[in-house]
Amino acid sequence: LEEANNDIAVEAIVLDINSPGGTPVASAEIATAVKESNKPTIAWIRDNGANGAFWIATANNYTTANELSMTGSIGVYCSYLEFSNFLTEHNVTYQRMVDGKYKDLGSPLKEMHEYEEYLLQIKLDKMHDYFIQSVADNKNMSFDEVAIYADGQLLLGTEAYEAGFVDELGSKKEITNYLLTKNITADYYYLKKDTSFANMLTSFVSKHGFSIGQGLAMELQQESFNV
């Protein structure tokens, strides 16, 4: 986005989105960068533009999607596997050593108590409300209008269009026509970040497994929330 904004040859920015989402901070940072762009921004949702990717899509000046695109999924989750009973059954003891009553809140090695669950749910609720309000601000809608669709379910492109989250159903042709209304004749080219094999492998491991050399609880604490 920075490169495109600084390139005088670029007249508009089209985000080619095919993503199931990501973490809250990353989604918020990208959405903010989109809104701060000094050029027209268009979101083009392909197969998938849900969760954090949907948040980012709504931050654009104009959003398109295919009728069958998977969008929406306005929600936050922090689910994980709990192994406390497994450890007990195999005569393994969790030696709890913490400085801070809730320091190991969410550890899969111990049972989560009711009040701990309550504390974690408060955080999830606040993040969920922030997500809803951000989408509402982006689309000039009220909090309640967005909240109707904020139960975490996926929306088809047609449903997102009917709800007011998508401005037009279509693809590159519709984007080209939209740009013509801005006196911009589209000649597309891609700006892509170079990705090494090592970076790709690291990304895969972090998204689909537990980081090498780190414990289960540590991984949970670092990547527990997703939007």
Mean pLDDT of 195-206: 60
What pLDDT score does 209 carry? 43
Mean pLDDT of 63-73: 96
Mean pLDDT, the chain, rounded, equals 85
pTM score, whole prediction: 0.80
- pLDDT at position 202, please? 59
**How many other C-beta atoms can be found within 10 angstroms of the C-beta atom of residue 126?**
11
Q: pLDDT at residue 73 above 90?
A: yes
Please check the confidence at residue 200 and state whether its pLDDT lies above 70.
Answer: no
Distance from C-alpha of 102 to C-alpha of 87, rounded to nearest angstrom:
21
* Mean pLDDT across 122-138: 94
Distances (CA, A) of 193 to 9, 127, 154: 19, 29, 29
DSSP character string of 143-163: HHHHHTT-SS-EEEHHHHHHH
Within a 10 A sphere around the Cβ of 163, how many other Cβ atoms?
17
Tell me: the pLDDT tens digits for 133-161?
999 999 999 999 999 999 999 999 999 99
Q: What is the pLDDT of residues 20-55, one digit of tens each?
A: 988 889 999 999 999 999 999 999 999 999 999 999
Q: Other CB atoms closer than 10 Å to residue 152's CB: what's the count?
A: 14
SS3 8: coil
Is the pLDDT at 86 greater than 90? The verdict is: no
Q: Contact, 61 vs 33, CB < 8 A?
A: no
Higher pLDDT, 189 or 56: 56
Please say if the pLDDT value at position 94 is more than 70: yes
pLDDT category, 186, cuts 50, 70, 90? confident
What is the model's pLDDT at position 127?
93
CB-neighbour burial class of residue 76 (10 A; exposed 0-12, middle 13-18, buried 19+): buried
pLDDT-based confidence at 122, cuts 50/70/90?
Answer: very high
- Mean pLDDT across the stretch 164-189? 93
* Average pLDDT estimate for 77-88: 78
Token reading at 180: 């013509």
Contacts of 131 (CB under 8 A, 6+ apart): 24, 55, 74, 75, 76, 150, 227
